[in-house]
Amino acid sequence: MQKFVKYAIILFGLLLIPFAGTLLSNEVNWSGFDYLIASIFLIIIFTGIEVINKYAAGKKLIWILILGLVMLLVWLELAVGIFDTPFAGS
């Protein structure tokens, strides 16, 4: 239960950054769907890190870096469309 609370606080704190940007600037324009996707991504990352810590015997750092890189590439694709897929952002 303590891990859940810790991750919930981190998730909330990270989502406060774009929320503050939305309130303070016209440059940041997140909708509710953007917050939902960001929450899902962060939950996947937290869950992946827990699974890696539990089951990866040796090279935990490499697996965590791979997870982070994959999630970063997906996020970039959704945000700006670096690979030109149908899911590409603006």
Total of domains in the chain: 1
Residue 42 lies in a domain: yes
pLDDT digits (tens, 9 = 90+) for 34-68: 999 999 999 999 999 999 999 988 899 999 999 99
Q: Domain of residue 31: give its range.
A: 2-80
Looking up tokens 């891990």 gives 3
Read off the DSSP letter of residue 86: T
Phi/psi of residue 29, nearest 5 degrees: -135, 75
Structural domain contains residue 36:
yes
Return the structure tokens found at 26: 């016209």
Residue 37 lies inside a defined structural domain of this protein? yes
52 found inside a domain:
yes
Q: Is there a domain that residue 89 lies in?
A: no
Cα–Cα distance measured from residue 36 to residue 14, given in angstroms and rounded to the nearest whole number: 13
The confidence band for 90, taking pLDDT boundaries of 50, 70 and 90, is low
Whether residue 28 is contained in a domain is answered as yes
Joined together, the tokens standing for residue 22 give 């939305």
Q: Tell me whether residue 90 is in a domain.
A: no
Asked if 39 and 15 touch (Cβ cutoff 8 Å), the reply is yes
Structural domain contains residue 58:
yes
